[in-house]
A and B are shown apart, each in its own frame.
Chain A
Amino acid sequence: MKRQAKSTIRTSAGSKVFDVCNVLILTLLSLVCIYPVWYVLAASLSESSLLMQHIGPLLKPVGFSFSAYKAVLKNPMILSGYLNTLKILILGLATNIVMTSLGAYFLSRKGVLWKKPIMILITITMFISGGMIPFYQTLQDFHLTDTHWGLILPFMISTYNMIILRTSFESIPESLCEAARIDGAGHWKILFSVILPLSKAMLAVMVLYYGVGIWNGWFWGSTILSDRSMYPLQVVLREILMANDTSSMTAGVAAGDVEAVGATIRYATIIVATLPILFVYPFLQKYFTKGVMVGAVKE
């Protein structure tokens, strides 16, 4: 409204029509973006036999039942998947943040002789990689297959994230570090008591980026782990969704209902695995665009 008042040209009829259409288009797009999630949520809470008969879009659960969730939560694979993912998440985030901070701090310092060669060494890896099999072989050589460390150590640093964090470190005034140095602080002290406390917002971005990556990762988990009890959540989820394998959860269900119950269980599994993300998402929203923007500044 304010901008309109300031603008010297009168608002033409065409301009008004555009505004209305624009709001309509964006409303429609938002509905399209959110509907699949809503559908899955509604279906997961539906009565399985009614859901089977239901045809067309769902606006709310047909019938109402928590039985699918009860079946999912009783499944030991879901529980172990959750615990494995949590373990990888905690250990992974700790190493991610420490290693990325160390690298970003080094690259943000001025007047360091070997900085450029090291930067080149790092940048090259953004464009060239050994490929899937040599990477897999490397994990084997280091005895990281069949361990959770195999999903943590090889992914300690994302170069892209490190460059974002470096840009953020660079924006901290040199005088603050200088003052600390005069007080006798070394690089470790400067990093941990000057730089990091001033970069909390960007660290939140890092936690979010790395965290979502770990939570949603499935490929290497499914590739290097052979013991099913070590599977992270997404690998368990994939088994359930892809193989249509809900047999472990439909025990005791009458034969004719297995298919119907299986469908609601699949929906409930999706929700259970996605809920943490949906839950933290609104709280972190103000942070995550920051990373994209700092990344853009770099370019």
Chain B
Amino acid sequence: MKTKERESFWIRVKKDWKRNRSLYLMVLPVILFYVLFHYKPMYGALIAFQDYNPRLGFSGSEWVGFDQFNRFFTSPYFGRLVKNTLLLSVYGILFGFPAPIILALLLNELRAKRFKKTVQTITYLPHFISLVVVTGIIKDFTQSTGLINDIIVMFGGERSSLIQNPALYRTIYIVSDIWQGIGWGSIIYLSALSGVDQQLYEAASIDGAGRWKQLIHVTLPGIAPTIVIMLIMRMGQLLGTGYEKTILLYNEATYETADVIASYIYRVGILERNWSYSTAIGLFNSVINLALLIVTNKISKRVSETSLW
């Protein structure tokens, strides 16, 4: 019985190889890419359990178990880093997540096609501007002689360097995120909106539902699955606040509120060359992110029957 099954499996493998050999040849470089640039680094992440010394190399360095992780958990920065990372994500979800949905809903209510197109063209644009430029503009606008201070003075306020103020950092970060992402983020909801069955609107209006009621009872339920999927993805990034923008935007004066796990990983790893420690923090971070993604996906599956997998 067993040998027969195995035999038939090998026959299938042989047949498949005969038929699809050139196809496998095509995918070979792709697999090679994933092995070399994704799986090799995953294996390399084992240095998180070592006290890595570049001179001794991977095989020569001492294995220290979870020491690097404990070092991070007991580090004076641990609480601050987790708090900053979480707060930026939570504010991002509270304010940044609904923004594109609202924009899509407003655009959807427009009757003038050309105006709609113009608004779309303009609001998508910031997405294509590089982070280096965006953060450069933010710094310029928020410096004490910058545009925003000019406006504050017009309303009788005092000049100050806003980007150097830890209390304002998160606001600046989130507002600029919304500025850059609102238009681009709305595309996915607009495409979901265009998929809502038009007959439902007609039926609702025959039942006497006005535009507000149609929004609540037809439009929102229609795009709910998309909203849930986007929210799940966002939850999986709760501890994943990107390092690129942070590195470009923060400075020592604002570390208190600006420094996030990812930027700390960068400083410890790339600048201070503390490779094992940095890798351990990164590993901790991605394990938490993966766990969050799995948990929210599960909850969503149970509650709304929408899930990533």
**B-contacting residues of A (Cβ < 8 Å)?**
1, 3-4, 7-9, 12, 14-15, 18-19, 22-23, 25-27, 29-30, 32-34, 36-37, 39-40, 55-57, 99, 102-103, 105-106, 109, 112-114, 118, 121-122, 125, 127-138, 141-142, 153-154, 156-157, 186-188, 191, 212, 215-216, 218-219, 223, 234, 237-238, 241-242, 266, 270, 273-274, 277-278, 281-282, 285, 288-289, 292-293, 295-296, 299
**Contacting pair A29 B123 (CB below 8 A):** yes
| B205 at the binding interface (Cβ < 8 Å) | yes
Provide the main secondary structure of the chain B interface: helix
Q: Which residues of B contact A3 (CB under 8 A)?
A: 111
Q: How distant is B163 from chain A, measured CB to nearest CB, in Å?
A: 12
| B53 at the binding interface (Cβ < 8 Å) | no
Q: Which residues of A contact B20 (CB under 8 A)?
A: 109, 112-113
- Contact-residue size bin, chain B (C-beta under 8 Å from the other chain): 35 or more
| B220 at the binding interface (Cβ < 8 Å) | no
Please, how many angstroms separate the alpha-carbon atoms of A133 and B42 in the complex?
A: 10
Q: Which residues of A contact B151 (CB under 8 A)?
A: 56-57
Q: Which residues of A contact B29 (CB under 8 A)?
A: 99, 102
With A57-B151, A138-B36 as known contacts, state yes or no: A4 contacts B125, CB within 8 Å.
Answer: no
**Contacting pair A56 B123 (CB below 8 A):** no
Give a binary string over B218-252; 1 marks a CB under 8 Å from any A CB, 0 the rest.
00000000100100000010000001100110000
Q: Which residues of A contact B243 (CB under 8 A)?
A: 132, 219
**Contacting pair A33 B183 (CB below 8 A):** yes
Q: Which residues of A contact B135 (CB under 8 A)?
A: 241
| B119 at the binding interface (Cβ < 8 Å) | yes
Q: How distant is B142 from chain A, measured CB to nearest CB, in Å?
A: 12
Q: Which of A133, A142, A237 contacts B36 (CB 8 A)?
A: A142
Q: Which of B1-48 contact A (CB under 8 A)?
A: 12-13, 16, 20, 22-24, 26-27, 29-31, 33-34, 36-45, 47
What are 19 A-B pairs with beta-carbon distances under 8 A? A19-B109, A23-B110, A23-B115, A26-B107, A105-B26, A106-B27, A128-B42, A129-B42, A134-B43, A136-B270, A138-B41, A216-B128, A219-B244, A238-B132, A273-B130, A274-B133, A281-B125, A288-B124, A292-B188
Q: How distant is A33 from chain B, measured CB to nearest CB, in Å?
A: 5
Q: Which residues of A contact B110 (CB under 8 A)?
A: 22-23, 26
Please, how many angstroms separate the alpha-carbon atoms of A216 and B126 in the complex?
A: 12
Provide the main secondary structure of the chain A interface: helix
| B211 at the binding interface (Cβ < 8 Å) | yes
Please, how many angstroms separate the alpha-carbon atoms of A121 and B42 in the complex?
A: 13
With A57-B147, A216-B130 as known contacts, state yes or no: A187 contacts B269, CB within 8 Å.
Answer: no
